[in-house]
Amino acid sequence: MKGSLIIVGFFIAGIIVGVSHWLPETSGLSNISYITLCALMFFVGISVGHNTTVLKSIRKLDPRYMLLPLMTITGTLAGCAVAALALPHRSLTDCLAVGSGFGYYSLSSIFITQYRGPELGTVALLANILREIITLLGAPLLVKYFGRLAPISVGGATTMDTTLPIITQCSGNNFIIVSIFHGFIVDFSVPFLVTFFCSL
């Protein structure tokens, strides 16, 4: 939670700099942020390749739980496709790109700003921060009404780090491996799905 607040703090600091026009020129900015994005993806790749505990833990996982990431991805995209019907000024792919963040707000909003501009990027940032907040606050209720897999699915890409503690608390320790596996797969799908929907 503290980490999220710092990230939002940097975003707000940027908005203040942007609104007040302290920078004489912002046209070179998208180049700088593209290079920074490339560096970020390289490091994200390193952390994925370096993380062999996930690969080891998969062997102990009930194969039926391996379907959960698929449920999360199709469910979210279906929900966003329905949501797009009520947003006539947004295209279907815009809405699907926002949904494809799965709570990974930093990466998804950065990608979407690169490809679709800061307006949709801001929507993606807010929508995906909200998804993480819903998971953190709603996990007990989700377990009660929709079973122990529901908070993992809502947690999306965050279930191997930021929302893992609350999920193990609400769904139980038996679901740690499911949660980590789910987070790993959904997390990995974010850059692919977001760029895919932005390129359509």
Partner 1 sequence: MLKIVAIMFCGIAVGYLLRNYLLRFVPKAITVLIWLLLFFLGIEAGANPRVIGGLKELGLEAVWLSLMGVAGSVLLAWALWRYIQARKGGKS
DSSP string covering 107-141 = HHHHHHHHHH-HHHHHHHHHHHHHHHHHHHHHHHH
Tell me the number of residues near partner 1 by CB under 8 A.
97
Residue 35 Cβ, how far from partner 1 at the closest point, in Å? 10
Residue 174 Cβ, how far from partner 1 at the closest point, in Å? 8
Q: CA distances (Å), 18 to each of 11, 82, 112, 180, in order? A: 10, 34, 18, 38
Q: Which of 58, 106, 168, 176 binds partner 1 (CB under 8 A)?
A: 106
Please give the residues from 123 up to 162 whose contact with partner 1 meets the rule CB under 8 A: 123-128, 130-131, 134, 142, 146-150, 152-154, 156
Please give the residues from 37 up to 96 whose contact with partner 1 meets the rule CB under 8 A: 37-52, 62, 64-65, 67-68, 71-72, 74-80, 82-83, 86-87, 90, 95
Residue 172 Cβ, how far from partner 1 at the closest point, in Å? 8
Residue 166 Cβ, how far from partner 1 at the closest point, in Å? 15
Residue closer to partner 1, measured from CB, 13 or 140 = 13
Burial class (CB in 10 A: 0-12, 13-18, 19+), 188: middle
Please give the residues from 169 up to 198 whose contact with partner 1 meets the rule CB under 8 A: 174, 191-192, 195, 198
Residue written as token pair 């062999």: 52
Burial class (CB in 10 A: 0-12, 13-18, 19+), 103: buried
